[in-house]
Amino acid sequence: MEAHVASLEATLAEARGGGGDKYVERHRERDKLLPRERIELLLDRDAPLLELSPTAAAGTGYVAGASLVTGIGVVSDVECMILASDPTVRGGAVNPHGLAKMLRAYEIALANRLPLFFLVESGGADLERQIDIFLPGGAMFRELTRLSAAGIPTISLVFGNSTAGGAYLPGMSDYVVMVKERAKVFLGGPPLVKMATGEESTDEELGGAEMHARTSGLADYMALDEADAMRIGRLIASRLNWRKLGPGPRRRSIEPRFDAEELLGVASADLKVPFDVREVVARVVDDSDFDEFKPLYGPNLVTGWAAIHGFECGILANDRGVLFSEEAQKAAQFIQLANRSDLPLIFIQNVTGYMVGSQYEQGGIIKHGALMVNAVSNSTVPHITLQVGGSYGAGNYGMAGRAFKPRFLFLWPNAKTAVMGPEQLAGTMSIVARQAAEARGLEFDEAADEERRAALAERIEAESLAPYTSARLLDDGIIDPRDTRTVLGMSLSAAHSNTVEGTASFGVFRM
Amino acid sequence: MNKILIANRGEIARRIMATCRRLGIETVAVFSDVDRHARFVFDAGEAVPLGGQTAAESYLRIDALLEAARATNADAVHPGYGFLAESAEFAEACRAAGLVFIGPRAETISAMGSKIESKRLMIEAGVPVVPSVTIDDIPEAELAAAGDGLGWPLLVKASAGGGGKGMRLVESREGLVEAIGAARREAGSSFGDDTVYLEAYVPAPRHVEVQIMGDTHGRVVHLYERECSIQRRYQKIIEESPSPALSAEVRSEILTAAVTAGEAVGYEGAGTVEFLVAPDGSFFFLEMNTRLQVEHPVTEAVTGLDLVQMQIDVARGEHLPEQSSVPPVNGHAIEARLYAEDPLNEFLPSIGTLHQFRIPREGVRVDAGVYDGVEIGIHYDPMLAKIVAHGRTRAEAARRLAEALGGAVIHGVQTNRALLVRVLRHPEFLAGDIDTHFLQRHSPVELGAPLTGVAEGGLHALAAALADQATRRAAATVLGAVPTGWRNNPSQMQEVSYQRGADRIDVGYRMGRGGIEAHIGDQDVAVSGVDAQPDHVEMTVNGVHRRYQVSRAGGRHYVDSALGSTDFVEIDRFPESEEEAAPGSLKAPMPGVVRRVDVAIGDDVAAGDLLLVLEAMKMEHNVLAPVAGTVTELRAAVGEQVEAGRVLAVIEE
């Protein structure tokens, strides 16, 4: 696990480094702050910041972080979603991963009702990849105004370029702050205007902060410098009269009795070796106090009640990876109970899937799995998913995988996600190939199969690893296992910004 | 004598009341509006409001004091020191009203109150005196010649003066007339008597005084000497007993001379005969103070006597013991006067709210009238407290006193604490090698600089930042349970900047899983074992664990630790541009009243010219032209009250 954590840290360092020393230096020479420096100045002192998908795009050919920083932080006592373009990476241009990261941040803000700050300085879309950005990219603006329509304040602080389509970022925001002599917000710059109409014009005339503050009215506030923009942003947040809609923590937060440091040793390096997930729970929940529900039934799935940072919640955690009918039924009941009690649910995944085999098919494993998937799909309390090991097959679905839209989904660095294990997948493919060859009466090339099988297993394995999936925005980030309590606590708190209400309305439970 | 009205305030009122309580005598306090919440008011059995703010409106009002005594059926009055303690008129008025005045007879006060008259009496009694000249009858044109007779430099002194008020050192003939004028004004406002005279100046003298006590039966005894050579602006700040300088012969002579002086005037009560002692051991009568002295506690410490009790006994007509029955001197005692003033800025009084005031009391006596939250204003003497240490030896007393002062917690006003500590630890002081010019030889700016240096200041700034961090986390309305400053992708530390005097201190910290990372300025510091609370921080820095007390008041942070005390102003995260003062503008160095304006708009002035005179805390402060130029603005008029920092005048070069 230490190696995984070290590798995570190396990728995070790459993300912090932005476009590299040369571009960071050039940015500083212009007396500008880096995106994280801007965020730090915007945040309340000593309050936390949970960066989301910090390793987005890592290993894809783009710089780790995807030229955008997103995260949940506290501004003037308001929990906010903060986005900041990184102008040191290709001028802050939006690439496909950055777009996905941005839209995911919007989605989280909308689901959890988090006021949104956008710290803008971006050269627009990465034109070489326009096909991947132009059409889906419209959502950058559509979703921004939908947030506003949902009553969620949107605040743009413009530090530099925000031109062409980018001009609609401030354009769609509730509040706009522009930095004097720095912000440039226009649909077309001087060369384009010259080409289009023959008019001679300057940046300042077309889109300077002074012009927008005094003439066009697009800027609500003109900041004297970058720090002043943050000061004004904090002022805006302080005047939002913001109230969270959830009930908030019900009790005092009590640290777990067991040391979080030991989480590094709890999860097995080899996912085939099972570990007691209660060891994880004991190092995450308040006072290590976990009231198990149905402890004697369906023991491969542990369910129970606990609190994190005083937020009460239900926990479903895979103990040994396989889900049988009993586990599925237990989960369906537990999810309904949490909905009755309006309690958020935390899914701790280490699942190999639902049991296969004639005995289990005949026992109705599909029916029972469907109960669980039905419950998790229709449940309306906030879901937070944490992968502490493998997540395979329909088990991923039943345990609130990405497609089931949990409010947040985090991975431990050892996590693996795939439709099935690489060896099983390659083996299955091999069996299918052999059967096809036999059906056609062809001789089966054992050596070639062995080679194909190994290569496939290797590729599937690589694609199942946390750095791979996280780089592709299939989750909200890889976390250090020792931060689990903090990350879950912040997620629960964010979820409580919105109403926390369960439902009695599920799909037809097939009995 | 059953009930004593104390016609005074502050520490001396409390000190007198303490003895009265012990003797079973009831007490009455009187107080001005400014003092209505003061400790001494509540220490007294009864208290009578005098109204008013200034001394003249309150503690100097004889009619109101007598009325207060009548209203409370007091049968005696203790005047303390200062105010009316040496007013023959008051002593006489008390007697006429049937009250016992705890002090000498009015005639004695009158005779000794006039420095001119007192000298005449001493010359008659054979006590050596410093040559002097009265100038009331000398025309202005001949003053300089009179000065020549005494030699230069010379002193202009107020006949009714004391404590350096109304006193001026004049180097040569040129400054004489102006110095006389200034001394007269100061004397007039402080003592109600503007008579001044000229006195020969004894170079590098020591100030040695003898405590005497006389009864109503003709006996005068001495209670040994005190040395008060450490002075600033003629104001004693460190006093001790016995003097470290006197040989047995000189001591014997000086004590005898003092008793002779007392006997010459039939002295009753507590009095002090002050002498100048030249380096060769010759001594001169300076003046006689017909009251309890500020520094009487050092005498009490080495004799074990209670001087206030003796005053009361004598006033009751009791007999003093013979000289041979006075206890011998036991050990050595040193007193330090803690003033609210700025030694780095010409000892300008420092006013403001005294947010916290605590002096470790182990082994020292603290006589203080101030308390947490009191306003230190411009109306009264800026002395906060007297701290007295008694030791087997002088070195022990000095060490103990320095330690107590060093460990004092004083928040809200500037003080001379650092200067006192540095003097008490100074090799020359410890060698007894002192005279009244000590603070001319040794720069008050160096001695008075904060005891904590850059390194200590940095640690204290870090402690302040960590304490604030704890305050903010405790007050967080959301995510309060999350570890402080938590980041899953940490990019920088929490940065805080403070202003300490002229210095800016940038500190940063990050508390993570592995402990704390921190920097002070651009130095990384190894910190561990941190327990940060809103009001204190414990941490181990470079292997040493200390506790740092952190408090905030009036926009400042105060940090106290074994390393000393510091205070800071936090620099705003988002500084706003400041309105700049026009260059060449002169700001009031302190709050006060404009007494004189010597220039008009349009006047050309040279650098150093007197522009106007500000009076505060009963001292005059000259505001001089910093540069040559033309006065373009004048924003102060005579009699106007101005606040510190107010632009008084603008000079264009």
The pLDDT score that the predictor gives to residue B641 is 82
CA separation for the pair A426, A408 (Å, rounded): 31
The pLDDT score that the predictor gives to residue B584 is 60
Q: Which two tokens stand for residue B462?
A: 């870090």
CB contact under 8 A, A483 and B488: yes
CB contact under 8 A, B492 and A41: no
Task: Calculate the alpha carbon distances from A11 to A18, A40, A66, A279, A461 in Å.
Answer: 11, 20, 12, 28, 20
Q: Say yes or no: A261 contacts chain B, CB-CB below 8 A.
A: yes
Q: Which two tokens stand for residue B418?
A: 């650092």
Task: For residues B423-437, give the mean pLDDT.
Answer: 95
Q: With both helix axes pointing from N to C terminus, report the angle between B115-125 and B106-113 in degrees, rounded to the nearest 10.
A: 100
CB contact under 8 A, B476 and A310: no
Min Cα–Cα distance to chain A from B533, Å = 14
Contact B365, B388 (CB under 8 A): yes
Partner residue facing A46 (CB), from B472, B488, B492: B472
Contact B336, B390 (CB under 8 A): no
Min Cα–Cα distance to chain A from B487, Å = 5
CA separation for the pair B45, B297 (Å, rounded): 24
The pLDDT score that the predictor gives to residue B580 is 42
Measured between CA atoms, the residue of chain B closest to residue A226 is: B574
Three-state SS annotation for B562-605: CCEEEEEEECCCCCCCCCCCCCCEEECCCCEEEEEECCCCCCEE
Q: With both helix axes pointing from N to C terminus, report the angle between A130-137 and A139-149 in degrees, rounded to the nearest 10.
A: 20
How wide is the angle at C-alpha B55 spanned by C-alphas B50 and B61, nearest 5°?
A: 50
Summarize chain A as % helix, strand, coil (round to 5). Answer: 45, 20, 35
- Counting one residue from A and one from B, how many pairs have CB atoms under 8 Å apart? 90
CA separation for the pair B13, B39 (Å, rounded): 10
pLDDT tens track for A379-422: 999 999 999 999 999 999 999 999 999 999 999 999 999 988 88
**Confidence (pTM):** 0.83
Contact B548, B558 (CB under 8 A): no
Measured between CA atoms, the residue of chain A closest to residue B487 is: A49
Task: Give the pLDDT band of residue B162 (cuts 50, 70, 90).
Answer: low
Closest C-alpha among B387, B398, B385, B403 to residue B340? B385
Backbone angles phi and psi of A238, in degrees to 5: -70, -20
Measured between CA atoms, the residue of chain B closest to residue A231 is: B574
The pLDDT score that the predictor gives to residue A102 is 96
Measured between CA atoms, the residue of chain B closest to residue A483 is: B488
* Segment holding B244, helix H or strand E: none
Establish how many alpha carbons lie within 13 A of residue B524's alpha carbon, considering only the half-sphere containing its beta carbon.
6
CA separation for the pair B91, B109 (Å, rounded): 8
* Segment holding B296, helix H or strand E: helix B296-303
CA separation for the pair B216, B317 (Å, rounded): 6
pLDDT tens track for A104-116: 999 999 999 999 9
CB contact under 8 A, A47 and B476: yes
Q: Say yes or no: A17 contacts chain B, CB-CB below 8 A.
A: no
CB contact under 8 A, B481 and A16: no
Task: Calculate the alpha carbon distances from B404 to A339, B237, B448 in Å.
Answer: 66, 16, 17
Residues in chain B closer than 8 A to A46 (CB atoms) = 469, 472-473, 484-485, 494
Establish how many alpha carbons lie within 13 A of residue A478's alpha carbon, considering only the half-sphere containing its beta carbon.
31
pLDDT tens track for B39-94: 999 999 999 999 999 899 999 999 999 999 999 999 999 999 999 999 999 999 99
Q: Which two tokens stand for residue A16?
A: 């912090």
Residues in chain B closer than 8 A to A227 (CB atoms) = 573-575
The partner residues of B586 in beta bridges, in order of sequence, read B649
Contacts of A435 (CB under 8 A, 6+ apart): none
The pLDDT score that the predictor gives to residue B345 is 86
Min Cα–Cα distance to chain B from A491, Å = 10
Task: Give the pLDDT band of residue B581 (cuts 50, 70, 90).
Answer: very low
Min Cα–Cα distance to chain B from A135, Å = 32
CA separation for the pair B626, B412 (Å, rounded): 29
CA separation for the pair A16, A38 (Å, rounded): 13
pLDDT tens track for A466-496: 999 999 999 999 999 999 999 999 999 999 9
The partner residues of B389 in beta bridges, in order of sequence, read B334, B364
DSSP state letters, A436-479: HHHHTTPPP-HHHHHHHHHHHHHHHHHHHBHHHHHHTTSSS-B-
* Segment holding B89, helix H or strand E: helix B88-96
CA separation for the pair A95, A137 (Å, rounded): 10
Task: State the CB neighbour count (10 A cutoff) for residue A131.
Answer: 9
Task: State the CB neighbour count (10 A cutoff) for residue B589.
Answer: 17
Task: Calculate the alpha carbon distances from A266 to A2, A257, A276, A302, A391 in Å.
Answer: 12, 15, 8, 16, 17
pLDDT tens track for B311-345: 999 999 999 999 999 999 999 999 999 999 999 88
Contact A302, A316 (CB under 8 A): yes
Task: For residues A78-82, give the mean pLDDT.
Answer: 98
Contact B327, B228 (CB under 8 A): no
Task: For residues B395-416, give the mean pLDDT.
Answer: 94
Higher pLDDT, A275 or A382: A382
Q: Look up tokens 């506290």; give the residue.
A: A74
Residues in chain B closer than 8 A to A253 (CB atoms) = 480-481
Contacts of B565 (CB under 8 A, 6+ apart): B408, B409, B410, B450, B451, B452, B558, B559
Task: Calculate the alpha carbon distances from A414 to A2, A282, A350, A388, A478 in Å.
Answer: 10, 20, 11, 7, 9
Task: For residues A76-104, give the mean pLDDT.
Answer: 94
Instruction: Tell me the Ramachandran region of residue A208: left when phi exceeds 0, alpha when psi lies from -120 to 50, beta otherwise.
Output: beta
Q: Say yes or no: A18 contacts chain B, CB-CB below 8 A.
A: no
Q: Side chain identity at B312, as an amino acid letter? A: I
Contacts of A49 (CB under 8 A, 6+ apart): A39, A40, A43, A71, A72, A73, A82, B486, B487, B488
Min Cα–Cα distance to chain B from A321, Å = 28
Burial of B545 (0-12, 13-18, 19+ CB in 10 A): exposed
Task: Give the pLDDT band of residue B607 (cuts 50, 70, 90).
Answer: confident
* Segment holding A52, helix H or strand E: none
Task: For residues B107-118, give the mean pLDDT.
Answer: 86
The pLDDT score that the predictor gives to residue B163 is 64
Task: Give the pLDDT band of residue B413 (cuts 50, 70, 90).
Answer: very high
CB contact under 8 A, B472 and A45: yes
Residue B133 has pLDDT above 70, yes or no: yes
Min Cα–Cα distance to chain B from A339, Å = 24
The pLDDT score that the predictor gives to residue A167 is 87
Q: Which two tokens stand for residue A197?
A: 């109409």
Partner residue facing B484 (CB), from A34, A46, A490: A46
Which of A9, A44, A46, A235 is the mutation pick for testing B, counting most B CBs within 10 A? Answer: A46
Establish how many alpha carbons lie within 13 A of residue B325's alpha carbon, considering only the half-sphere containing its beta carbon.
6
How wide is the angle at C-alpha A37 spanned by C-alphas A31 and A39, nearest 5°?
A: 130
pLDDT tens track for A183-219: 999 988 888 888 888 899 999 999 999 999 999 999 9
Higher pLDDT, A309 or B605: A309
Establish how many alpha carbons lie within 13 A of residue B541's alpha carbon, considering only the half-sphere containing its beta carbon.
21
Summarize chain B as % helix, strand, coil (round to 5). Answer: 30, 35, 40
DSSP letter assigned to residue A212: I
Contacts of B63 (CB under 8 A, 6+ apart): none
Partner residue facing B478 (CB), from A34, A79, A480: A79
Min Cα–Cα distance to chain B from A249, Å = 10
Residues in chain A closer than 8 A to B493 (CB atoms) = none
Contact A505, A403 (CB under 8 A): no
Mean pLDDT computed over every residue of chain B? 91
Contact B166, B186 (CB under 8 A): yes
Measured between CA atoms, the residue of chain A closest to residue B572 is: A231
Instruction: Tell me the Ramachandran region of residue B595: left when phi exceeds 0, alpha when psi lies from -120 to 50, beta otherwise.
Output: alpha
Establish how many alpha carbons lie within 13 A of residue B513's alpha carbon, considering only the half-sphere containing its beta carbon.
15
DSSP letter assigned to residue A342: T
Task: Give the pLDDT band of residue A442 (cuts 50, 70, 90).
Answer: confident
The pLDDT score that the predictor gives to residue B204 is 83
Task: For residues A29-36, give the mean pLDDT.
Answer: 94
List strand residue ranges (DSSP E) for A47-185, in order: 49-51, 68-75, 78-85, 116-122, 154-162, 175-179
ipTM for the predicted complex: 0.94
Contact A414, A1 (CB under 8 A): yes
Exposure class string for A472-486: b at 16+ Cβ within 10 A, else e? bbbbbbbbbbbbbbb
